[in-house]
Amino acid sequence: MTLPSHAEIVVIGGGIIGCSTAYHLARDHKADVVLLEQGRLTSGSTWHAAGLVGQLRSSASITRVLKYSVDLYKRLDAETGLATGWKMTGCLRLATNQDRWTEYRRLATTAKSFGMEMHLISPEEVKRMWPLMEVDDLVGASWLPTDGQASPSDITQSLAKGARMHGAKLFEEVRVTGFEMKDGRITAVKTNKGDIACEKVVNCAGQWARQVGAMAGINVPLQPVKHQYIITEKIAGLATDAPTIRDPDRRTYFKEEVGGLVMGGYEPNPQAWTTGDVPNDWEFRLFDDDFDHFEQHMVQAIERIPALGQVGVKQMINGPESFTPDGNFVLGLAPECQNMFVGAGFNAFGIASGGGAGWVLAQWVVDGEAPLDLWVVDIRRFSDLHRDRQWVCDRTLEAYGKHYTIGFPHEEYESGRPRIVSPLYERLKAHRAVFGSKLGWERPNWFAPEGMEAKDVYSMGRQNWFGPVGEEHAHVREAVGIFDQSSFAKYEMTGPDALKALDCICANDVNKPVGRLTYTQLLNTRGGIEADLTVARLADEKFYIVTGTGFRTHDLAWIRDHIGEELDATLTDVTEDFGTLSLMGPHARSVLSAVTDADVSNAAFPFGHAREITIAGHKVRALRVTYVGELGWELHVPIEATGEIFDALMAAGKPYGIRPVGYRALESLRLEKGYRAWGSDITPNDTPQEAGLGWAVKLRKNTDFLGRRALEELNGATPKKRFAGFTVNDPEIVLVGRETILRDGEPVGYLTSGGYGYTLGKPVGYGYVRNADGVSDEFLTSGEYELVVAMQRTPAKIHLEPLYDPTNAKVKA
C-alpha cells in the first residue's frame, strides 16, 4: 500500500496502545486516521507481555479506564470476529503479614468506593480455589472476581481489525524518521516511505516513544527495564480456569496458560537495559535467558506452588518493558508541542490499560483536553528534571523495585536525592528537618525533636511523626511558624493584553486594582477544575501567579495554551527567581512589623492584598493569603536573599517562639479549615459548585471565560454531588482517603482526602456525597453518616462549614 500524502491524525506505533487509540479514533470520532508501525503489529513489548488484567487502582478515573478495558475485551470478538483470549478467571492477591492485610482491607474499601467487587477471604478458601498452593503462611487474600487474563497479540490484532473496519489505515514496515515543524506544531510526519501532512500526531511508540518524541523536542521520561517470566510445561491438577495470582510478599505472579503456568516477578534489584536509544531492530527480539537473576523468583514461587519444582520450563521470556519514574503511565498532550499526544510507559500494565487508555486518549486528541481526571498519568506531571536520563533510570528502578512492596501511606522515594534544594536546606537540616521530595525539590515534611531520630518510620497505623507534627500544628495555631515553600511554581503574565488573557482563563474575577490578590480556579470546557491558584496584580500590565510545586508544568502549559493567539501577553516561569517563606500564626504581624518599615496593620494591608515591602534591605512581594486558617503572609523573596530574610524573621520572632514548620502540619491545618487540595479534593471531574467554590466564579459578570457555558447550563440545578467534611470520634482511626461514605447505611461516595485535626482532637476527612436525584442541604443534613475504614464501619459527623474558625479560635466539630 502507498502511504497517503495527508491524514487528519497519525498514530505512531502498532502495539496494543496504538491500535486501541486508532480503533477508538475511527469508531467513536470517525476521524481520518493513519497508523504507522516500524515492524509488524504487536512488535515491541506487546507480543511478549504476560497478559494479566487487573482493574483496581487508587484513582477512581484510572480504575474506570481499566474497567473499560475489560468490558471492551469481553465484546470485541463479536464485533471483529477475532478472539481476544479474554478469560475472567478472577485474581487472588495473597497476604502473609498484618501490614499487607491492612493494605488489602483498605483496598477492599477503595474497591467498594469505586463500585468494584472485592472480597477478603481466608487461607482455607484460597486452598479450595487453588489446591496446588501452599497457604500455611497466609493471613488471607483478596479476591477480585472480575479480573482475568488475555492474549496481548490477539487483542491487538482484533483492535487493528476493528480500526480498519471503521476506516483507519494501518501500515507496517514504515519507520518515522522525523517531523516537519512550524511555530511549535508538527505539520508533517517524515518516514522512510514518504511524508504525511497531518493536523495531529499520537506517539504510541512504546519503548521507542522517548526517541520519537525527541525528534519533535518532546521529553517522554521512560526507562526500558528487563522483565523476565517463564512458561512451564503442563502441571497435573491445574484447572484451566484457575484464578491469576499475585503474591506480592514473595514478589511473584502466576497465570494459567495451556495447562501450565506463566510465572514472573518484580525483583528489588531490577536490571535497566539502556539509557540511550532503543535499537530500531528490536521489534521481536529478546535478551538471553538470565536464570541467575531469575533464581530469586524461582525459589519463592516453588515455596508457594511446590508442583513448579517438578515440571519443566517450556520457555523463558526476557524482554524490555517501558517503566516510568513514578510507576504510572504517560498520557496526554506534550507541553513542548501543540499537537503531539503521547500514550506510552505502561509499566507492564499495558494489556490491562490498553483498551481504556486508547478510549480516553482518542477523546483527548479530538477535544484537546482530557475527558476525565487523568492527572496521575498526565505527561504534564513531569518537568525539566525528567530530561536527566540517569536520574530517570535511577528513580524508575526504585519504582520497579516497589512494584509489589506494601504501599505505606506518605512513603517517599529515596533515589536521586537531594536534587533541588532551597537556600534554606542546610539551615532546616540544622533544625532537624525530615525532608520529602516533590518534583525534585527537597521540602521539610516535619521536624524531629531532640532525642528522636530524624527519619520517617512507615507503618499502617500512626507513624512516628504523629506527635511532633501535632506540636508544630499547635504552634501555628497558638504562636507563629515559618514554612519554606520556595518550591511553589511561580509565573508572571505581562503585556498590554495580560488582563484580557487572564480574564478569559480564570473563573474568578482578576480585574481588580493593582495590589489585589485573587484566589481562582481554571476550568475546562466541562466546567471541571483544571487548576487552583492565586493571581496577584502587581501593575496594570503585570500579574504574579502562584501554584503548587507538582503542578508547575501542567499549569504553565494550560495557561499558555489558552492565551488567544491575537493577544499581546507573555507568560514567564519565574519559579527559581523567588524563594517563598510563609509566616503564619496569631503573632505573624508582630514578627513581620519588626523586620519592615511598611505598615502591615489590617487597615493598611488587608487580607487578599499584595504589597512590595522591604525586609533586611531586600524588596519582597508580600501576599496576604493563608492555606492554614491563621493570620499570615506569603513572602516571595529574591532567591539569593532567602537565607538572610529567614534569619531576620527567626531573630525577630524569638520573643514569640517562632519555629520552622513542615508540610505535614500544613496538611492538618488546611484540613481543619476546609481548604481544598487540587488533585484530590478538586479535580477536572469536579465543578466549583459541586466543590463549594461557586463564590469564586464570576458568573454575575458579563465576561466570557473558559468553562462558563458549562457552568451556566448547570446553574440553578441541584448538583448530583456535593463536597462535605466529616469527623469521627475515635482518635485512633487513620483516614488516608478513599474511605467509603455511608448515608443511612447506603454508600453515597468516598473521601478524597483524610488526616488528623490536632486542634479538634479527631480524624478529619473530605469527600463528595452523591445522589442521582440531587444533593440539597436538606439531603446532606438529614442523613446519619458512617465511614468505612479498612472494611470497618465507624460513626461520622458531616460538616458543611469549616471545622475551625480563627477569628475566635472556635472549634465546630
Domain boundary among 274, 300, 320: 320
Tell whether the model's pLDDT for residue 350 goes beyond 90: no
Could you tell me the CATH number of the domain that includes residue 495? 3.30.70.1400
| Residue 237 sits in the same domain as residue 345 | no
Q: How confident is the model at residue 49 (pLDDT cuts 50, 70, 90)?
A: low
Tell me what percent of the residues of the chain surpass a pLDDT of 70.
Answer: 98
Tell whether the model's pLDDT for residue 53 goes beyond 90: no
Report the C-alpha gap between 70 and 77 in whole angstroms.
12
Could you tell me the CATH number of the domain that includes residue 769? 2.40.30.110
pLDDT digits (tens, 9 = 90+) for 283-310: 778 889 999 999 999 999 999 999 999 9
| Residue 31 sits in the same domain as residue 154 | yes
| Residue 312 sits in the same domain as residue 247 | yes
pLDDT digits (tens, 9 = 90+) for 93-105: 999 999 999 999 9
SS3 352: helix
| Residue 180 sits in the same domain as residue 296 | no
| Residue 18 sits in the same domain as residue 126 | no
Residue ranges making up the domain that contains 140: 91-147+224-320
| Residue 97 sits in the same domain as residue 195 | no
pLDDT digits (tens, 9 = 90+) for 232-258: 999 999 999 999 999 999 999 999 988
**Predicted local distance difference test score (pLDDT) of residue 550:** 97
Instruction: Give domain status of residue 398, yes or no.
Output: no
b/e 610-640 (16+ beta carbons within 10 angstroms → b): bbebebbeeebbbbbbbbbbbbbbbbbbebe
Could you tell me the CATH number of the domain that includes residue 24? 3.50.50.60
User: How far separated are the first and last CA of the chain, in Å rounded?
Assistant: 70
Instruction: Give domain status of residue 345, yes or no.
Output: yes
Report the C-alpha gap between 319 and 21 in whole angstroms.
24
Phi, psi dihedrals of residue 444, rounded to the nearest 5° = -70, 120
At 698, list the grid cell: 464570576
Report the C-alpha gap between 292 and 67 in whole angstroms.
37
| Residue 161 sits in the same domain as residue 68 | yes
Domain boundary among 301, 320, 339: 320
Instruction: Give domain status of residue 452, yes or no.
Output: no
pLDDT digits (tens, 9 = 90+) for 317-331: 898 999 999 999 999
Tell me what percent of the residues of the chain surpass a pLDDT of 90.
Answer: 89
**Predicted local distance difference test score (pLDDT) of residue 148:** 84
Instruction: Give domain status of residue 19, yes or no.
Output: yes
What is the average pLDDT across 502-528?
98
| Residue 516 sits in the same domain as residue 376 | no
Q: Which residues pair with 447 in a beta bridge?
A: 433
**Predicted local distance difference test score (pLDDT) of residue 808:** 55
- Domains contained in the chain, number: 4
Instruction: Give domain status of residue 274, yes or no.
Output: yes
Instruction: Give domain status of residue 442, yes or no.
Output: no
**Predicted local distance difference test score (pLDDT) of residue 279:** 85
What is the average pLDDT across 421-450?
98
**Predicted local distance difference test score (pLDDT) of residue 811:** 52
pLDDT digits (tens, 9 = 90+) for 154-172: 999 999 999 999 999 999 9
Angle at 411 between CA 405 and CA 416, to 5 degrees: 95
**Predicted local distance difference test score (pLDDT) of residue 764:** 98
Report the C-alpha gap between 110 and 474 in whole angstroms.
32
**Predicted local distance difference test score (pLDDT) of residue 58:** 79
Domain boundary among 278, 299, 320: 320
| Residue 727 sits in the same domain as residue 804 | yes
Strands 804-805 vs 313-323: parallel, antiparallel or unpaired: unpaired
What is the average pLDDT across 443-455?
97
Q: How confident is the model at residue 46 (pLDDT cuts 50, 70, 90)?
A: low
The pTM of this model reads 0.96
**Predicted local distance difference test score (pLDDT) of residue 453:** 96
What is the average pLDDT across 727-754?
96
What is the average pLDDT across 716-738?
95
Tell whether the model's pLDDT for residue 212 goes beyond 80: yes
Instruction: Give domain status of residue 587, yes or no.
Output: no
Tell whether the model's pLDDT for residue 485 goes beyond 80: yes
pLDDT digits (tens, 9 = 90+) for 391-421: 999 999 999 999 999 999 999 999 999 999 9
| Residue 19 sits in the same domain as residue 163 | yes
Q: How confident is the model at residue 50 (pLDDT cuts 50, 70, 90)?
A: low
Tell whether the model's pLDDT for residue 91 goes beyond 60: yes
| Residue 194 sits in the same domain as residue 216 | yes
Tell whether the model's pLDDT for residue 812 goes beyond 80: no
**Predicted local distance difference test score (pLDDT) of residue 48:** 63
| Residue 305 sits in the same domain as residue 236 | yes
Tell whether the model's pLDDT for residue 810 goes beyond 80: no
Could you tell me the CATH number of the domain that includes residue 100? 3.30.9.10
Instruction: Give domain status of residue 57, yes or no.
Output: yes
